[in-house]
A and B are shown apart, each in its own frame.
Chain A
Amino acid sequence: MTEYRVGRVRAVIIVGTWRTDPPGVVRPHPERTALLEARGALLYWDVLDRTAHPAAEIHDPDLAADWLWELYGPDAAGAILNGDSHIATEWASPVLDAARRLAHLRWAEAWWPSSHAAAVPALDTGLLRAEAAWRTAAVEHLLDDDEAVERALADANLAATEDLDPALGAAELTAALQALSEDYGIELRREPAGLRREDWALAATGGPAVDFALASGGAPVAWERVPQGLVDAAAGATWTLTQREGGLVVHVSVPAAPEARDLRLDAAIGTVDVPLRLDPASGNFTGEAEAPQAFLMLPAAQRVLWVHSPDFVGEPAEPAAAPHRAAIIEYARERLTDPDASLAERAA
């Protein structure tokens, strides 16, 4: 049974969790949000609370009326549109199921916490997108984007589905995608999967040995400041300060996620910027830079290590302010063995 409060903030009907001051909806943290953009409404599930039905922000009730009943059932949908303040529903339908799976696939593509440290393998993006295209077709009649299936098919890679374990339904998915490709006139790509299955035992052996560490420290990496799949979601970044012939040098090391791409990362500590590159030998993003002598005098509060991708320049968030991260990693581990999870999760 799902129970939600329903109310309005200006012209928007909100179905979900409310706060009273100021009145409005409580959106889950982006890292735990499985989102679907429907016609006339945003729908979202909180991946950690496992409610079957999404919370909704309905900005065009007339458009949403067309499909709302498919997700909440006719009674609850009627109650939402008639201005009731509360709904309860146990509605189940294939459309609800497909909608939730699609939202979950998009979540996994953005936030899957792949990690050596926490034993969460990387997911095959090609497979995630292939399944997403299939699920998109099942809910295309309620999506905001009228070219959603075309867009999703253009992203799908048939090679990923063909490599899939037949026991997981490779043939079914491949056939479904081929039929969709013909129905929508989108030619499917077939590119050899770029995934290299790493040897778990050998990866992440830690940073290089350092002779004379004058100072060192570490910090978790804020997820929202790096792309998915680059940095080990559970491990932290570390820095060490050493004396070399020319002066002080800061060395930064960040454990890479399984099958990480070699994109640049930037680290900053005190006034020192340290560009990082993937070192395939150690499985870490590493880099070093000269530090001024004054570095030794910095109070600990100013020797905070920040790691971010040049693609993400927003305000740094305090990693400790995201207590849900451990829960997300735990959730991801459960998904790996959940027979109801997506193909990419089960195949990983």
Chain B
Amino acid sequence: MVQSIAAGAAVPRGMLIADAWAQLGDGVAPLSNPSGRPLARTVKLLLDPLVLRPNLNPRFAGGMVGVEHVDELRSTLLEAGPVLAATAAWFQLLKKARRRAGVTEGNPQDLYFQRCYELAHEHGDPRGVPDAEAVAAATVADVRAERGEVTVDRLRRFMTDPDQVVRLAGLLQHAWADRPAPQPAPQDDLTAFLDTCAAKPDERAWKALAANGTGTAEAADLDRPRVARDYGLTAREHPAPPALGERASKRQLPPPFDRSIMERLFAAFTAVFQRESMADIPSMVVGEIHRSAAAWQLAEEPSRVAMALGRDASNGIDYWAGGGTPRSDANGRLQARYAREAYVHAVHRQPDPESANVPEDLKHEILHVQEPYLRRLWARLHGRELRGETTAADEVWDLLDGVFRSVLLDQRDRLRRLLERDGGRS
């Protein structure tokens, strides 16, 4: 039978979700924003991965949902109502426990949403659980223990143990002595993927890039003089073996390739740490040593492909000129974002990046945006590797674009702060 679908025979997914969400009532209010819509993280951490699962149910994906799937989407959400209400109730309890324990680090939604969903499945609604407060307190303590101080302390102790230092230094030396020289390869496939990754990501092409070792091949140039430095990945002429390191601080991390092993792991610990998916400390340290000697200083081929894609997507992006003819669809989209950024700067009445009052490092980052971009992309990919997260074809563009957005927003904050009351001068 031929189905004829009339124009408009699709409904915005956001509207369907908003409508079904409203029917769930006050029970899910803690997961809603002041407009009564599910919080952005409710969608990202709960509805998408755990309830609607568009990866398994492509009919629930994208901006529009076909009318024939509308009822199913609504009933899927409504059926999840009780568990979502229980999740919301646990979230309230966990926030209270967190306040009582004096925890202030991290975003509670990021830290607790999925835990609360697990608790809701395990125990149901906390109002029927006699020791619910104790469970909540234990969960908060658990989440706190697996990130932050405790883990960083263990890492520091392990890496400064004299016996370990000798062994680890030997490992590091060998890993770098044994580095294979990657062979360059033509990069047409990268451009082809960049042309489609935003609109129609092709899973097969994405897998093929990794299977063919394209990311590793694209790292061949990094050892040539100044190449890695021009990408912002090192301050040195050539990448050199990292130090093991004894201390680390969140501020003033050097470029990725210049970070010590300790600094690399520290940065990941203080971002999002997930115990279940991360290895124990000794194997993480050894893994990091080997990673540092690998192509792009990343362990997995898809991450290396992503670095090569990010490099090509951010080539030639220019704050003033809009960059000229795009080299790929993705490159054009990032350029368009930068062109919008210049307009947003004018509307927000922000200082001119070329002004003498703008510190040199910030000016450099704005005019050579590829450098902070590749640094941040590397850090994201590194964190994903440590957490064992894989990247599907349809997540690549979100990653490439999201990293660019985050770089621009930080630049914007720094420009704006120049005009604050003290402004660091006057």
Contacts and interface: CB of A to CB of B under 8 A. Distances in A.
Contacts of B39: 140-141
B352 A110 contact: no
B347 A30 contact: yes
B421 A194 contact: yes
A29 B187 CA distance: 43
B63 A95 contact: no
Interface in A182-214: 182-185, 187, 194
Contact of B336 (A59, A82, A227): A59
A263 interface: yes
Interface string B4-34: 0001100011110010000000000000011
B368 to A, nearest CB: 19
B268 interface: no
A312 interface: yes
A261 B108 contact: no
Nearest to A194: B421
A68 B351 contact: no
A-side interface mostly = helix
A4 B36 CA distance: 29
Contact of A263 (B62, B413, B423): B423
Contacts of B421: 194, 261
Nearest to A264: B426
A319 to B, nearest CB: 15
B43 interface: yes
Interface string A28-53: 00100101010000101000000000
Contact of A313 (B7, B347, B354, B418): B354
Given A33-B347, A310-B357, A311-B418, A187 B352 contact: no
Given A138-B34, A140-B33, A187-B104, A262 B12 contact: no
A30 B348 CA distance: 8
B240 interface: no
**Contact size class for A?**
35 or more
| 7 tightest A-B CB contacts, nearest first | A65-B63, A66-B14, A311-B351, A110-B349, A62-B63, A138-B34, A30-B346
Interface of B: 7-8, 12-15, 18, 33-40, 43-44, 62-64, 95, 99, 104-109, 111, 198-199, 333, 336, 340, 343-344, 346-349, 351-352, 354-358, 402, 405-406, 409, 413, 418-419, 421, 423, 425-426
19 contacts: A30-B346, A37-B340, A42-B344, A62-B199, A66-B63, A67-B14, A68-B12, A69-B14, A110-B347, A134-B34, A141-B38, A144-B405, A185-B109, A228-B349, A261-B421, A310-B357, A311-B358, A311-B419, A313-B352
Given A139-B35, A147-B409, 19 more contacts: A59-B333, A62-B63, A65-B13, A65-B64, A68-B12, A70-B14, A95-B37, A98-B34, A98-B35, A110-B348, A141-B33, A176-B34, A183-B108, A183-B109, A185-B106, A187-B104, A310-B356, A311-B351, A313-B356
